[in-house]
Amino acid sequence: MANPKILIIPGSTRTGSHNVKLAALAAKELTLTDIEVTRISLADYELPIYDADLDARAGQPANALRLKQMIMAHHGVFIASPEYSASVTPVLKNAIDWVSRVREKGDPTYAAFKGRVFAIASASPGRSGGLRSLIALRQILELGCGALVIPEQVAIPNAPQAFDDMENIADTGLANAFRGELERLVEMARLMM
């Protein structure tokens, strides 16, 4: 049976980001099970703050189109993103807003968010692991963009201490939940092929 393609997007571009680490771990786990993975950085898709006048005047920036096409080339998308002010990071929200406006010929609305499945996770130095950002991100993806987001999600608390020397999640329960989330993502992405 052919395997689905999974895109991994960290919602942080910070040097030393815990969520980039979590994204890298997702890529490692998926690659070990022979899944084709693409891991990107939103730093490579620099975008102006969404501005409807700019959109009307100049259309969507090339990077919004590139990011939309990158998402559409995959059956599943895994997003690991920090919590900022009890919500998602500006870089992630801005990217989603721009991508949500891109419509190529024949596209339905929110094309990048349809026909594929999303999974979300977060890591934070705080005790809740960024849980509130997952609630916000789920709302944006599901209610805002019509995406299918699997119910499994993992929030990693105490992020600076959460990873061991091999960059794996140190806590066995959380590590198993993370693996379970990835397995479910692949299972659902397979249905999108």
**DSSP code for 146:** -
Q: What are phi and psi of 109, to 5 degrees?
A: -65, 150
Q: Please report how the helices 62-72 and 90-101 are oriented relative to each other, as an axis angle in degrees rounded to 10.
A: 90
Separation CA 102–CA 134 (nearest Å): 24
Candidate segments 68-76, 82-90, 111-119, 180-188, binder of ligand FMN by CB under 6 A: 82-90
Separation CA 110–CA 182 (nearest Å): 24
User: Applying CB under 6 A, does 12 fall inside the site for ligand FMN?
Assistant: yes
- How many residues sit in the footprint of ligand FMN (CB under 6 A)? 14
Among 41, 65, 101, 125, binds ligand FMN (CB under 6 A): 125
User: Measuring CA to CA, which residue among 116, 129, 115 is closest to residue 171?
Assistant: 129
Among 7, 8, 18, 137, binds ligand FMN (CB under 6 A): 18
Given the complex with ligand FMN, which of 84 and 178 has the nearer CB atom? 84
Cβ atoms 72, 107 nearer than 8 A: no
Candidate segments 66-74, 106-114, 120-128, 176-184, binder of ligand FMN by CB under 6 A: 120-128
Given the complex with ligand FMN, which of 61 and 181 has the nearer CB atom? 181
Candidate segments 38-46, 83-91, 97-105, 169-177, binder of ligand FMN by CB under 6 A: 83-91
